[in-house]
Amino acid sequence: MQFKDVIGQQYTKQQLAELVQHNRLSHALLFLGKEGSGDLLLALAFAQYIVCDRVNGKTAAPSLFGEAALPTQDSRLPTDSCGVCPSCGKAQKFIHPDIHFSYPVIPRKAGDKPLSTDYISEWREFIQLYPYGNVFDWLQFIGAENKQGNITVHECNDIIHKLSMKSFESGYKILIMWMPEYLGNAGNKLLKLIEEPPPDTLFILVAENESQILPTILSRCQLVKIPALPVTDIAIALSERANIAAEQARQVASISEGNYREALQLTQHAEEDWQDLLRDWLNATLKTGPAAQVKWIEEISKLGREKQKQFLRYFGHLLEQSVRLRAMGTDSIQGQNMPEKERDFALRLNKLADISQQQAIIEELDRAAYYIERNAHGKMLFHALTIKLYHIIANKSLLLVN
């Protein structure tokens, strides 16, 4: 993965290259960016940049067996890895012996103590197929269904073992940990290693939610904030990489909120199933009554935790669009660029609830997603959420409590 393969983020790319060029590289970095910003890809590109032979000033003559010579380093400091040296070739295939990966995994069977290396083949395939995928995509890719992914204490012990060894080829040993939010208290095992690592050891943590990371780990990392992607960068990427018509790409990019993954989902009309499920929920809550509510809760509880969180996130997205339409109007650029089906649904939500009610619902949705991540019982949670939704919309009684 080279920097040029990552959508946008020119300032961050330059910032990362300068850390190496000016010898200001910390031993632990935290790449903090929202879903769809390309934070993981930047970490992969940065790791390749560090091990690249050209960046390290290595050159070689042509091989007697026909391999090309390494590019000769010129007087200018490179701002990207060369992409052709042996180190880059291994890094691009995610097989470089000095670049290690850690990510949430699940037990394959009861009693297993899963490690990231158990899923390395799936990981390499996932990155190539879904470079902007989120943790939900990854867990579904490895067949998690309704299981929660974790980075366990056994994984931490494995990391300590791997990083205690000498590097094989490059000057650095690099660990890329994706979603350290899934560490939990097991992360305390890594504190000493992060604070006093072996020479030439680099930790790159790639996270979306700073508040869910252990404070003791946060305090030991240099923060690199990855901003959301601009509309223009997403539109260009959709046109060039996903073969989306320019006008449609512009419209989708304008409502993707800087999230390239979300933009891809919108182009595939992934929201249609969520809209039907949401419509059934609102009808059951406000019109058809308890029997319909119980039936709907049975249906949502079968989807599993990750899909439940996706549904709640989509409802929150629709409410945010409703607020924008209320503030800017349907004739605004925001309203005109919104897909027709989504705009109609957002307008209906505006008739159903005012801004204070919509804000209260968004807070309840965020709170419910938080509880789901902590293994709340699905049926009980959605029963409680349905009751709260009814009282917020019907008589605003929960607004005073909140």
Rg over alpha carbons for the chain, rounded to the nearest Å, is 24
Are the beta carbons of 286 and 390 closer than 8 angstroms? yes
Are the beta carbons of 52 and 88 closer than 8 angstroms? yes
pLDDT at 147: 83
pLDDT at 73: 45
For 176-210, the pLDDT digits (tens) are 999 999 988 888 888 989 888 888 899 999 999 99
Those residues with Cβ within 8 angstroms of residue 236's Cβ, 6 or more apart along the chain or in another chain? 249
For 94-107, the pLDDT digits (tens) are 999 999 999 999 99
pLDDT at 59: 53
pLDDT band at 396; cut points 50, 70, 90 = low
Are the beta carbons of 59 and 35 closer than 8 angstroms? no
Tell me how far apart the alpha carbons of residues 330 and 335 are, in angstroms, rounded to a whole number: 4
Average confidence (pLDDT) over 116-121: 93
pLDDT at 65: 43
The yes-or-no verdict on residue 288 having pLDDT over 70 is yes
Average confidence (pLDDT) over 304-326: 83
The yes-or-no verdict on residue 60 having pLDDT over 60 is no
Provide the strand spans (E) within 193-241: 201-207, 222-226
pLDDT band at 50; cut points 50, 70, 90 = very high
For 346-369, the pLDDT digits (tens) are 888 888 888 889 989 999 999 998
The yes-or-no verdict on residue 316 having pLDDT over 90 is no
Tell me how far apart the alpha carbons of residues 54 and 171 are, in angstroms, rounded to a whole number: 13
For the chain, give the percent of residues with pLDDT over 70: 89
pLDDT band at 76; cut points 50, 70, 90 = low
pLDDT band at 112; cut points 50, 70, 90 = confident
The yes-or-no verdict on residue 330 having pLDDT over 80 is no
Nearest to 226, CA basis, from 1, 17, 25, 30 = 30
pLDDT at 368: 93
Mean pLDDT of the chain: 85
The yes-or-no verdict on residue 228 having pLDDT over 90 is yes
Nearest to 36, CA basis, from 369, 210, 266 = 266
The yes-or-no verdict on residue 139 having pLDDT over 60 is yes
**pTM confidence score:** 0.69
The yes-or-no verdict on residue 61 having pLDDT over 70 is no
Residue 400, burial from CB neighbour count under 10 angstroms (0-12, 13-18, 19+): exposed
pLDDT at 347: 87
Domain at 3-61+68-226, CATH class: alpha beta
For 332-350, the pLDDT digits (tens) are 655 566 667 778 888 888 8
pLDDT at 307: 79
pLDDT at 75: 46
Rounded to 5 degrees, φ, ψ at 73 are -75, 130
pLDDT at 336: 60
The yes-or-no verdict on residue 272 having pLDDT over 70 is no
pLDDT at 338: 67
The yes-or-no verdict on residue 16 having pLDDT over 60 is yes
Q: Given the structure tokens 């925001």, which residue do they identify?
A: 334
